Amino acid sequence: MKVISLSDYQQFSSEKMKKNNIFQTERFFCDVYCFEPGQEQQGHIHGEQDKVYLVLEGQGTFQVGAEKQVLGAGQGTLAPAGEEHGVKNYTSRRLKVLVFVAPNP
């Protein structure tokens, strides 16, 4: 059994949003996305994958389809397959988001 500590998967990059992979199989993956202030994941579409975002720390603007909403620690949302989605850290503090995607692209 693989046991992890989330603190080991929270690395940041000054260049762009950093994806830190925790678990991955042929059917699924789980990452921690780490955003410095001002960084974003541009809106994009996964044709066959559902994505779940859960905010661990900070606040960000999350887009799913035509809707945008600010989410904070303890909140999350689902981006169903085929819906455009993205995240922006509009604050002056770091943003950490736990992300689940299935099936694995």
In a 10 Å sphere around its CB, with 0-12 CB exposed, 13-18 middle and 19+ buried, how is residue 47 labelled?
A: exposed
Q: How far apart are CA 58 and CA 60, in angstroms?
A: 7
Judged against a pLDDT cut of 90, whether residue 104 lies above it is answered with no
- pTM here is 0.95
At 10-44, the pLDDT tens digits run: 999 999 999 999 999 999 999 999 999 999 999 99
pLDDT category at 65 given cuts 50, 70, 90 is very high
Query: What number is the average pLDDT over the span 76-91?
Result: 97
Judged against a pLDDT cut of 90, whether residue 79 lies above it is answered with yes
Query: What number is the average pLDDT over the span 76-92?
Result: 97
Query: What number is the average pLDDT over the span 74-78?
Result: 98
The topology under which CATH files domain 17-102 is Jelly Rolls (2.60.120)
Handedness of CA 23, 26, 46, 77 (dihedral sign): negative
pLDDT at 30: 97
Judged against a pLDDT cut of 90, whether residue 4 lies above it is answered with yes
Q: How far apart are CA 53 and CA 7, in angstroms?
A: 18
